[in-house]
Amino acid sequence: MSLIRHVPELAIKSKALLPNGEDFDVLIAGAGMAGLYTAWRLQNDGLQSPQLKKLADARPDKRLKIGIVEFSDRVGGRLDSVIIDGMDNVPAELGGMRFTESHQLLNLVIRDLDLEGDIGPFDMTANSQFTLRGERLDEAAIRNGEPVPYNLEDAEKKKTPNELFNYAITKVVGPDALSYTDANWQWVKENFRYSDASGVYDNAALYNVGFWNLLYQVLSNEGYDYCWDGGGYNSNTINWNAAEAMPYMLTDFSVTPKYLCFKDGFHTLPATLAQRITQGPAPVPIYGGTRLVRFDRDAGGRLTGEVAATADASLRGRFSTSYLVLAMPRHSLELLDQDTPFFNAAPVQWNIQSVLLQPAYKLFMAYEKRWWDPELFYRGPTITDMPLRMTYDFGTEAEHGGAPGDQRALLLASYCDMQGASFWSVLERGKVHALPPSWSMTAAKGGAPAPESMCRMAEGMLKKSFKVDGKEPEPSERVGAYYQDWTQAPYGAGFHAWAAHYKASDVMRSVRQPLPDWPVFICGEAYSNQQGWVEGALCTAESVLEDKFGVPRIAGLPDLYPLLTPPPVKPGDDEPFKTYLLRDTPNAF
């Protein structure tokens, strides 16, 4: 098996624990995109905040003292890349791999960091291939009336799985839903009421309805199974908040997004941010391999807390800080000591539990050359009801600027979530657990080489998925394989979804500071209006900076650009600032 190389730019250089008694103005827990962005903005513009300038003025150097503690030994959170078999031009994107032109804050950060030259298109097929219930299908054939192996009702036929999702949603909200803007959808979320003929729902707000419950009311059972199998993401059909699910799903067909990526890997973004904040006249230290254990308030109301080495809990340190920013998702928050006044408060738990954890798994396999039809299975996603779920062709070294004739190809062999993640996780090891599974550091260390049993299982499914005219192709020589299970600590999930019975727009605002008298703030993708996207992480962090610290909005971002949710506009009414759908694909992964 070939060499797997982690991207060195993500490694945190400082591994020292916080010294006992270290005193900060702002301490940030988490070196993912929300945490890095917060530190970068505070480093550049923090003194424009009256309350922060007062703290800086009290220090001899007149500068804010900012620090970051990070559970793992690298920055980036759920942005990570590895190089398989020396294929430097085709990095394996273990986490986020794409974004769109509509993500204004992310694109602004890219510009400010002088990274525009690193951006290229993220190509996807215009005619996805499917293997469902053992039969090969494609989108064009389905639309032309090719029978699918599901006993669909007449109104459900001649629709791809995503189009059937859209059909179900328009049956509830109306046919004009396909053209709604974000502001229109915000009005629907707040004002639309749903009733059904069976009497299960009577004038119910959509945020009090589960999406699975809703689909069951408007689709046949076979129609639901078709959406589940052919949608690629199992998480799309779970019982999450219907008010949030519907605009999220409709964006696949209501806009034609242009997908973008970092040509050298998405890790370029957090690596560049980390370099900027740890260097310069007011460097921000990042303490890697250091986890926040607990925090409380002293008699004067100042925050005090404890950290520990991730690899050795006996190594401890203490700190104090005026402000604490928890830039982390739900599971990471729940890894902190919950038996404290802060976490024992009902508003804190109410906010934290407002999102559902969505497991995600990626298995990359590299080959000496393509052994699948590159035109028929162009880029991806190729979708199947087998545990592979989705497959993407990342291309060859030669196609991405490597040596001419270098035909080594990288395949995202399995991109799956929910149940699919549990299928592959059992194949990660061939022996009994020596330690509690929850203590595994595999995810925090950036994944691991895929064992032979996992690779053979995947190749058996890939042969079926890449079958043409009834013939299964034979794999070429495999030169490497690597996986990442985002379900493991400290992440707990690849992405998140709003739970039913929560009004998400209210939570997005309250979760930022769950207890008004505690200077503790929460931000990140999990509690955003763009879950699964880097843009969501950045927008929640920017919102905390503006509304809680009084830092002016980052230069170049329109004043009316919604960081959380836009003001609601009833469909059909004039919209002075024409909003657009911000979530253009299921998620950045």
Burial track 499-513 (b if 16+ CB lie within 10 A, e otherwise):
bbebbbbebbebbbb
> Region 443-464: what's the mean pLDDT?
96
Are 283 and 269 in contact by the 8 Å Cβ rule? The answer is no
Beta bridge partners of 11: 74
Q: Tokens 């294929």 belong to which residue?
A: 87
Tell me: pLDDT of 584 over 50.
no
Tell me: pLDDT of 18 over 90.
no
> Region 344-361: what's the mean pLDDT?
98
Written as six digits, the tokens of 143 are 């639309």
> Region 493-520: what's the mean pLDDT?
97
Residue 501 is predicted with a pLDDT of 98
Q: Tokens 């430097």 belong to which residue?
A: 88
State the CB neighbour count (10 A cutoff) for residue 587.
25
Residue 19 is predicted with a pLDDT of 75
Written as six digits, the tokens of 182 are 């974000």
pLDDT tens digit sequence for 524-561: 999 999 999 999 999 999 999 999 999 999 999 999 99
Tell me: pLDDT of 36 over 50.
yes
pTM of the model: 0.96
Q: Tokens 């510009």 belong to which residue?
A: 111
Q: Look at strands 303-309 and 312-327 and give their pairing.
A: antiparallel
Between CA 35 and CA 327 the distance in angstroms is 5
Beta bridge partners of 365: 411, 481
pLDDT tens digit sequence for 200-228: 999 999 999 999 999 999 999 999 999 99
Q: Look at strands 290-297 and 478-485 and give their pairing.
A: unpaired
DSSP conformation class of 427: G
Tell me: pLDDT of 289 over 90.
yes
Helix intervals (H) in 29-174: 33-45, 50-57, 104-112, 139-143, 161-173
> Region 10-17: what's the mean pLDDT?
79
Residue 199 is predicted with a pLDDT of 92
Residue 589 is predicted with a pLDDT of 65
Residue 582 is predicted with a pLDDT of 40
Phi and psi based region of residue 469 (left: phi greater than 0; alpha: psi -120 to 50; beta: remaining): left
State the CB neighbour count (10 A cutoff) for residue 460.
14
- Of the given ranges (9-18, 127-136, 156-165, 558-567), which has the lowest mean pLDDT? 9-18
Between CA 71 and CA 67 the distance in angstroms is 14
Give the pLDDT band of residue 429 (cuts 50, 70, 90).
confident
Beta bridge partners of 410: 366, 395
Beta bridge partners of 325: 28, 521
Tell me: pLDDT of 255 over 60.
no
Tell me: pLDDT of 431 over 90.
no
DSSP-based helix, strand, coil % in the chain, nearest 5: 35, 20, 45
Tell me: pLDDT of 585 over 70.
no
Between CA 189 and CA 321 the distance in angstroms is 39
Between CA 53 and CA 42 the distance in angstroms is 11
Written as six digits, the tokens of 268 are 């370029």
Tell me: pLDDT of 17 over 80.
no
Tell me: pLDDT of 27 over 60.
yes
Tell me: pLDDT of 179 over 80.
yes
- For residue 167, which phi and psi values (nearest 5 degrees)? -60, -45
Give the pLDDT band of residue 268 (cuts 50, 70, 90).
very high
Reported as type and span, the H/E element at residue 538 is helix 534-549
Whole-Å CA distances, 498 to 166, 352, 554? 19, 11, 28
Give the pLDDT band of residue 477 (cuts 50, 70, 90).
very high
> Region 483-512: what's the mean pLDDT?
97
Residues found in the chain:
589
Written as six digits, the tokens of 130 are 């499917």
Reported as type and span, the H/E element at residue 307 is strand 303-309
Between CA 97 and CA 588 the distance in angstroms is 6
Are 240 and 354 in contact by the 8 Å Cβ rule? The answer is no
pLDDT tens digit sequence for 290-331: 999 999 999 888 999 999 999 999 999 999 999 999 999 999
Give the pLDDT band of residue 581 (cuts 50, 70, 90).
very low
Kindly state the percentage of the chain with pLDDT values over 90. Answer: 86
Give the pLDDT band of residue 579 (cuts 50, 70, 90).
low
> Region 385-405: what's the mean pLDDT?
97
Among 145, 193, 245, residue whose Cα is nearest residue 504? 245
Give the pLDDT band of residue 247 (cuts 50, 70, 90).
very high
Encode 244-286 in three state secondary structure: HHHHHHHHHHHCCCCEEEECCCCCHHHHHHHHHHHCCCCCCCE
